Amino acid sequence: MTLWSEPDTRRHPPGVYRARLTVGVSLVALGVAATNLTSTYSLFFLALGPALQLLGWLALPGALWRRLLVILPAEIAALTLLAGPDFTGAFAVLLACWLFVRHRPGISYLVLLAPVLVSFILKLSLHNSSQNWVGDVAGSVTVIASAWLARWLAQRRWARLNPPPAGETAGPGDTGDNPSGSTRQTPSRAE
């Protein structure tokens, strides 16, 4: 039985893929957070945030052309979040960039509806700039949950398109996730 795995795991030695993923996600998240900490008294965050986010997108595993293509939209979306709760729809752009870099199938893009809906709810319920942190937290939680839902949808699609051969069943250790770099993995679209 061929197990579903993240695209690109074959291209990296064991351990490197997970390290790049951890560093990349951390830098992107820190970059967006630092950008949102910008105020009149802390303008250095406006230089630090986009630089961290740029490094994060470049560190993520995946096809280089995909990572380069999302840098500008992701940077603009993070800067747009500075405008307050009326612009939390920019979280949908950040999520779309993540889905694109992670090679998610088309069905996974349905999760973009969640940040858009949350942005409308936040726009109606938050009315002054002292509530910006509520919008940032709600948008971040929505994006994280949506990214995991998109991953689950990708796994389900893979399982539906690649059923196990007749007579072969999944063993107790087969979880469907194999980022360790073993030989039984799905081909990447970049190949």
Answer whether 157's CB lies under 8 Å from 105's CB: yes
CB atoms under 10 Å from CB of 30, counted, come to 16
18 pLDDT more than 90: no
Question: Which of the two residues, 12 and 18, has the higher pLDDT score?
Answer: 18
Per-residue pLDDT, 151: 92
pLDDT digits (tens, 9 = 90+) for 31-70: 999 998 888 888 899 999 999 999 999 999 888 999 999 9
Per-residue pLDDT, 70: 96
Residue 42 tokens read as: 């802390």
Residues in the chain: 191
pLDDT digits (tens, 9 = 90+) for 136-146: 899 999 999 99
Answer whether 2's CB lies under 8 Å from 165's CB: no
127 pLDDT more than 50: yes
- Nearest partner of 61 among 174, 155, 190, judged by Cα: 190
pTM: 0.79
Mean pLDDT of the chain: 83
Residue 93's contacts (CB-CB under 8 Å, 6 or more residues apart) are: 73, 74, 76, 77, 80
114 pLDDT more than 90: yes
Question: Once rounded to an integer, what is the mean pLDDT over residues 59-85?
Answer: 92
Answer whether 19's CB lies under 8 Å from 65's CB: no
CA dist 112 and 182 (Å) reads: 32
Cα end-to-end distance, the chain, whole Å: 22
191 pLDDT more than 60: no
Residue 3 binned pLDDT confidence (cut-offs 50, 70, 90):
low
CA dist 107 and 100 (Å) reads: 12
Share of the chain above pLDDT 90, in %: 48
